[in-house]
Amino acid sequence: MTNQSAPWVTFRPEIKVLDCTVRDGGLINSHQFDDGFVKAVYDTCIKSGIDYMEMGYKASKKLFARDAFGDWKYCDEDHLRRIVGENDASVRLTAMADAEKTDYREDILPCDQSVLDCIRVATYVHQIPTAVDMIKDAHDKGYETTCNVMAISTVSDAEIGQMLETLALTPVDTIVVVDSYGALYCEQIRHLVTQYLGVAKEVGKEVGIHTHNNQQLAFANTLEAIIQGVNRVDATMLGLGRGAGNCPMELLIGFLRNPKFKLRPILELLENHLIGLRRKLEWGPLVPYAITGLYNQHPRAAMRLRAGEDKNRFAAFYDTRT
C-alpha cells in the first residue's frame, strides 16, 4: 500500500505550482537553452498538471547585449510561439521582469497580443516605486501579476511592513516571499509568511514562496510556507537554478498529493534531459553556496570560486566571507 491510499492523505486544491526551470536555470548558462530542452519542460508541465511555467525574462536589450544571451533572456513573442504555438494547453505562461532592467512599456505587449498570461515583477525593496509602476502597467495590459521581493533575508521587519502596505494598494495578485540567498530557516519562513498573509488576505491577494537551496532547506522551507497558508509555490526540475538551485519539483509534486499532479512525466524529464544537462552545467548545494547561505550573502562570490581553478578551496573561501 502506498501513502497515496492512506486515509490521512489530503490536499489543498487552491495551491498552484509554478515551474521556473528555464528562467532560474538560465542564470547558469546565460539563458542559452536549446528549443528541444525548453519544449521538453513545457510538455512536461502540461503532462504533470503544473499550473504555470516561467519561460524566462523580459530583459532590456539596451542593457543586455543580444549576442551575449539566449532567447530566454528576452522572451520575445516569436521566441515563445516557436515553443508553445498559441498555448492551447492548460498551463499558464509567465515571464519575469526585473525592476530597472526591463523596458516594460515597450517590450511587454498587451496580454491579448501575447501567449503570456502573467508578468512576475522582481524587485529589491529600494526599487519598490519602479515595481509599483511595472505592476500597474502589466495589470492595465491585462496580465495576472506577481511581485517577487528579492533578498528579503536582508530586509528589516519595519521595511517589510512598509513594502507590504505599498503593495497592498496595487493591483498585484500575488506577493512572493523570496529567499534569494538560501539563508532562511523554517522559523523565519513562518514569521515572514505570517507577516505577508496578514496584509495580503485583507486585500484579497495571494502569497507565494520561492526558495534557494544553499543550506539544503529549499524543500523544507517551501513545505513550511505551504503549512502556514501559502498557495502559490515555485519549484524547478531537479532543483535546476542559479548556484545552489531551487526547491526540486519532483519532491514538491510528491508531497502535495493532489491527484491532478502527475509525478511520472517529471521523472521522465529528469532521465531524458536533466541528468545529461548536469554533466554540462553545475548547480546544487555545494560547500561554497552553503557558506554564503550561512552568512546571508549573495552567491556571486561562490559562483566565481566554482568557475575558477581553485574551486575546492573551501577554507580559504570561508575566511573571505567571515
- Tens of pLDDT, residues 200-252: 999 999 999 999 999 999 999 999 999 999 999 999 999 999 999 999 999 99
**For the chain, what is the mean pLDDT?**
96
Per-domain boundaries in the chain: 3-278, 288-321
pLDDT in the model for residue 90: 94
Q: What percent of the chain has pLDDT over 70?
A: 97
Query: Which option is the CATH number for 3-278: 3.40.50.300, 3.30.2090.10, 3.40.630.10, 3.20.20.70?
Result: 3.20.20.70
Instruction: Kindly tell me if the per-residue pLDDT of 30 is higher than 60.
Output: yes
Q: Which residue has the cell 503549512?
A: 227
Instruction: Kindly tell me if the per-residue pLDDT of 11 is higher than 90.
Output: no
Instruction: Kindly tell me if the per-residue pLDDT of 9 is higher than 60.
Output: no
Virtual torsion, Cα 250, 252, 255, 260, nearest 10 deg:
-80
Cell numbers given for 253: 509534486
Instruction: Kindly tell me if the per-residue pLDDT of 268 is higher than 60.
Output: yes
Instruction: Kindly tell me if the per-residue pLDDT of 322 is higher than 90.
Output: no
For 113-128, letters b (16+ CB in 10 Å) and e give ebbbbbbbbbbbbebb
Instruction: Kindly tell me if the per-residue pLDDT of 255 is higher than 60.
Output: yes
pLDDT in the model for residue 45: 98
Helix axes 157-168, 186-200, angle to 10 degrees: 30
CB atoms within 10 A of CB 222: 25
pTM of the model: 0.95
Instruction: Kindly tell me if the per-residue pLDDT of 5 is higher than 70.
Output: no
Q: What percent of the chain has pLDDT over 90?
A: 96
Instruction: Kindly tell me if the per-residue pLDDT of 7 is higher than 50.
Output: no
**Sorting pLDDT into bands at 50, 70 and 90, what band is 175?**
very high
Instruction: Kindly tell me if the per-residue pLDDT of 305 is higher than 70.
Output: yes
Reference 53, options 35, 36, 38; nearest CA is: 38
- Tens of pLDDT, residues 56-96: 999 999 999 999 999 999 999 999 999 999 999 999 999 99
Three-state SS string over 172-226 comes to CCEEEEEECCCCCCHHHHHHHHHHHHHHHHHHCCEEEEEEECCCCCHHHHHHHHH
> Which of 47-56, 127-136, 168-177, 307-316 has the lowest average pLDDT?
307-316
Mean pLDDT score, 8-14:
77
